[in-house]
Amino acid sequence: MRGRSMRFGAVLALILVSAARLWSFQWPVGHKVLTATFGESRWNHYHTGIDIGGGAQIVRPVEDGEVIYFYDGWRRTRTPPSGLGSFVVIEHERGIRSLYAHLEPGSVSALPERVSAEEPVGIIGESGASLGKHLHLELIDSEIGSYVNPLLVLPSLRDTVTPEIRGVRYLPSGSEPSMTPIVLTRGMTVPSGDHRLLVELFDISEYVAYYCPMAPYRTTGFFNGSEVFDFTFDSLAERNGTLVLGTGGDAIAFDELYHDDWIIDAGVVPFRVGEIQIEIVARDVAGNEASYRIPISVK
């Protein structure tokens, strides 16, 4: 069985980036402090949007639209989705919805039926399941029922930091789930077999002084130049009540992809007898790229 491949990602990314030129979405805040990216681990589920810090600043819609639902801490309209706190959902043209969560209670209690991109819809807060003041922004394509990576359709954000690849590990074929993965080092000898490959990696936000790891946009693995896996965080869709990355038989649920918060499970990969050059490439949306190479012997 080969490692997992998300080949749909490149095609979808092209569609989304082309559409972004038509959508003309704007950033919802003036001071853009990216603290979390799309698709990263949230302990037991995928992160369905991006997080923006920068303190208690005014939040505006990414585009003109219709307010289809809002919940405010001071005005309980009905039971809100868990964890969002005070939030607003706006529907734009083409069936795209934007969601703004963790707003300051009391800041979204009087919204008109329609809002322009210049009208405030709230203030960044820390309501709901939030560890500090930030805006959780989601973009949802309601026509196909999927979450879209906001960084693909918002104006480009300055980013000069390269993702970090900390290491590669493997679990031998037939090993117990509780077994500690074995770290691959340069020149080590590995027995042949179909082993599970694990990669530790993350991106870093350059907008904050503290340590702030985030998920890269795309991660690809090669054995002697041949691709064995490829994950791209373009969109997430629901399948049988579970969010998955990908479509059809390639779709991957959260607990299939993440071995740990910053360790991805690349799937079962064939380690064949001979010399193997393992290469892992990680990229962010801005195009910054990191490469990690390990030569090993398989016997």
| The dihedral sign for the CA sequence 151, 203, 184, 196 | negative
Q: Can you tell me the distance from the alpha carbon of 207 to that of 205, in angstroms, rounded to the nearest whole number? A: 5
Q: Can you tell me the distance from the alpha carbon of 285 to that of 297, in angstroms, rounded to the nearest whole number? A: 34
Token digits of residue 91: 């529907």
Homologous superfamily of 8-152: Glucose Permease (Domain IIA) (2.70.70.10)
Beta partners for residue 91, in sequence order? 66, 97
Indicate whether 74 pLDDT > 70: no
pLDDT score recorded for residue 170: 97
Q: For the chain, state the CA radius of gyration.
A: 21
Read off the pTM: 0.89
Any idea which of 80-89, 139-148, 216-225, 273-282 has the lowest mean pLDDT?
80-89
pLDDT score recorded for residue 241: 86
Beta partners for residue 76, in sequence order? none
pLDDT score recorded for residue 14: 41
Q: Which amino acid is at 222?
A: F
Closest alpha carbon to 35 in 164, 207, 172, 192: 207
Token digits of residue 234: 């373009």
The dihedrals phi and psi of 100, each to the nearest 5 degrees, come to -125, 115
- 89-112 tens-digit pLDDT: 999 988 999 999 999 998 987 788
Give the containing element (helix H, strand E) for 21: helix 8-23
Q: Can you tell me the distance from the alpha carbon of 34 to that of 23, in angstroms, rounded to the nearest whole number? A: 21
Q: What is the mean pLDDT of the chain?
A: 88
CB 65 within 8 Å of CB 100: no
Q: Which CATH number fits domain 164-298: 2.60.40.10, 3.30.460.10, 3.30.390.30, 3.40.50.300?
A: 2.60.40.10
**Domain extent listing, the chain:** 8-152, 164-298
- 225-248 tens-digit pLDDT: 999 999 999 999 998 889 999 866
Q: Which amino acid is at 11?
A: V
pLDDT confidence tier of residue 17, bands split at 50, 70 and 90: very low
